[in-house]
Amino acid sequence: MEGLDTKLLAKLKDRVKRELVQKEKETIEYWLEELQKVYQKNHQSLAELKSDLRRFIDRMKNRVETIKTRGV
């Protein structure tokens, strides 16, 4: 890339990388908290646990689909 300062370019790449890592961390923490809620719930039966897990999975699938269709 002609005309771009290599130091500036390196700083920008580093900043983007840090921001991506931070966003990934936040996302994983969110879904971990949601899964912990399901785990900590006092399920009366295996069917109830499976139902909660199905809802959790559906929420994750919906989020993935939203990201695929809308982009960012």
Kindly write down the DSSP assignment for every residue of 3-66, as one continuous string.
T--HHHHHHHHHHHHHHHHHHHHHHHHHHHHHHHHHHHS--SSHHHHHHHHHHHHHHHHHHHHH
pLDDT in tens, 48-57: 999 999 999 9
Stated pTM of the model: 0.73
pLDDT in tens, 1-55: 566 788 999 999 999 999 999 999 999 999 999 999 999 999 999 999 999 999 9
How do the domains of the chain map onto residue ranges? Answer: 1-40, 43-72
The CA-based dihedral angle spanning residues 17, 22, 27, 28, taken in that order and rounded to the nearest 10 degrees: 100
Between 43 and 72, the more confident residue is 43
| Cβ-Cβ contacts under 8 Å for 53 (sequence gap 6 or more) | 38
